[in-house]
Amino acid sequence: MKKLPIWIITSVLFLGALMAWAGWVERHEVGYLPLALGIVFMLFAMASAPRVFADD
C-alpha cells in the first residue's frame, strides 16, 4: 500500500470532528446518527494515520 497524503487524513479528521460536534449540539433535533458518524470518521482517520509515515 502506498503512502497517504497527510492532507487527506487531516481533512477527514477535521470533518469527523466537525460532524461529531454538530451532532452533539443538534442531538435533540436530528438524533445521535451524526454524532456516531463523526466518531466513526475520526476512528477511520486515526487508524489510517500510520500510512502517512510508511516507507513505500
Short-list 12, 39, 8, 9, CA closest to 23: 39
What are the residue ranges spanned by the domains of the chain?
A: 6-51
pLDDT digits (tens, 9 = 90+) for 1-13: 678 889 999 999 9
What integer pLDDT is reported at residue 12 of this predicted model?
A: 92
The count of other CB atoms within 10 Å of the CB of residue 41 is 19
pLDDT per position as a tens digit, 40-52: 999 999 998 888 8
Percent residues over pLDDT 70 in the chain? 96
What is the rounded distance in angstroms from the CA atom of residue 3 to the CA atom of residue 8? 11
Query: Which of 7, 9, 30, 8 minimizes the C-alpha distance to 19?
Result: 30
Grid cell locating 29: 433535533
pLDDT at 26 over 80: yes
